[in-house]
Chain A
């Protein structure tokens, strides 16, 4: 019975982390669709396909990271107190939430860069045609 607190910790950690990842990626790629359509200059089928692929990649990276850092280390013979459990869980969940926020900002940065890049290439491609 000495590991029961650790198992409780896992059962609290996993649903929160997976639900948070799904919610954030749903939000991100619902709002990112507009950027993708902008980047691919209105070709909607390619834009939506790329969006879906990015979404799958986001799930893979984040749920993989969450599972990788799940293990709770506890040394010593006496069973874990609930205060220690709360502190360990807060460290893991808070760290994961900050990581997710940084990933979100990184993706947003990628969207901005893609939009900027597609705009500059449009200008250089279309200018000779206008001149000729």
Chain B
């Protein structure tokens, strides 16, 4: 058991937990905005489900793919530093996506509002 494998074992549960948690929060709170955009209630639910699934697939896929580009780890200090660096990178990407989403929602919301 070398240090790289231990790092992966810490990394994967943490990142999957963060991704699933954020996706779930956005799923719950985004439904209202989607209801605003579409009239049909049943279709809103299915769109929301599919968006959540696509979000999970792409983000967990990216989180898994970073493992293959991990540097070789020699001691415990490098375990911590590489772990925090990679986790921080992915969380920053999630934050950027999230703000982008909020911006788009606001834009479509305004557009709809002006149309009415």
B58, A90: Cβ atoms closer than 8 Å: no
- Please give, as numbers and ranges, the residues of chain B lying within 8 Å of A91 by CB-CB distance: 65, 67-68
> Is A96 on the interface with B (CB-CB < 8 A)?
yes
Q: Which of A30-38, A42-50, A71-79 contacts B (4 or more CB under 8 A)?
A: A30-38
In the complex, B75 has a CB within 8 A of chain A: no
Number of A-B contacts (CB under 8 A): 82
- In the complex, what distance in Å separates the CA atom of A68 from the CA atom of B61? 19
Task: Check if B61 sits within 8 Å of A31, measured CB to CB.
Answer: no
One of B47-55, B84-92, B104-112 contacting the partner = B47-55
Most buried by B among A24, A38, A104: A104
CB–CB B5/A105 < 8 A? no
Stretch at the interface among A7-15, A52-60, A81-89, A124-132: A81-89
The A interface is mostly helix, strand or loop, or mixed, namely: helix
Chain B residues close to A by CB (< 8 Å): 2, 4-5, 8, 40, 42-43, 45-47, 49-51, 53-58, 60-68, 70
Contacts of B55 in A (CB 8 A): 101
Within 8 Å CB of A27, what residues of B? Answer: 49-50, 53
List, in ascending order, chain A residues with CB within 8 A of B57's CB: 24, 97-98, 100-101, 104
Q: Are A34 and B67 in contact (CB under 8 A)?
A: no
B42 and chain A: residue at smallest CB distance: A34
